[in-house]
Structure 1
Amino acid sequence: MRTVGITTNLRVDDIAAAEGFWAGYLGLRQQEFSLGWVARYTDPDTGAHVQLVTRDATAPVDSALTVKTDDVDAAFAEAQAAGYEIVHPLTTEPWGVRRFFVRAPDGTVVNIAQHRG
């Protein structure tokens, strides 16, 4: 699998309430998207970012991080061949991301995603 980016997913109770800290105090701004249950705050100059999640909209569990790849289908096949637990099946989500969740041997749930152009 080729990793092209990694984003930390932080669990928060309320994205709007958390915005003051992340966007105000830390200087990140909501640049890329907000779907209500997930929002990414980014520093436009450095690219530093964090993704806040209240509860994943379609998966049965929340992921600790999102790993972006350029071939999610191949990454899914590799995860299956390695015998890793698939927590959320390979899915094209309504918001245009194709993804699946896999559990690392230490128990960490990882969202493997490819953004479709």
Structure 2
Amino acid sequence: MQITVSTVSLTVDDVNASRQFFTAHLGYREIAAADGFASLTRGDAAVDIVLLRRGTEVLPADQRDRHAAGLVLAFTVTGIEGEERRLRERGVTITMPLRKEPWGERLFQVTDPNGIVVQFVEWAAPDEVGAGAGA
């Protein structure tokens, strides 16, 4: 088996609101859409996203009324300060400010209109982890 692309499918109440958020702020583009459905891609290493309206019959019966909750869609990026600044300047609410964890992970989070948590992560170089742990 060879995997050619990875896709995450997210169940939301308002497909258009999430589609607009991901295309306007996170560089995604729509590649297919129908009533209650949108397929998004970036063309880089980011996972593709399928947005499905809650209640859609394509979902298994026991999952049709569930929201995309309890998950964090994480993207490893470069230039995390610039990305956080860009999103803030575009009016995106930063729901977890930029911070650095003791193990070297730098991260911040935003949340889309349907409650999808998007986390941006940048890893410190190994020699920076111990030196800047308290920073």
TM-score, normalising length: structure 2:
0.40
TM normalised by structure 1 equals 0.46
Judging by fraction of residues, say which structure has more strand: 1
**RCO (CA 8 Å, sep 6+): is it higher in 1 or 2?**
1
Instruction: Decide which structure has the larger Cα Rg and report it.
Output: 2
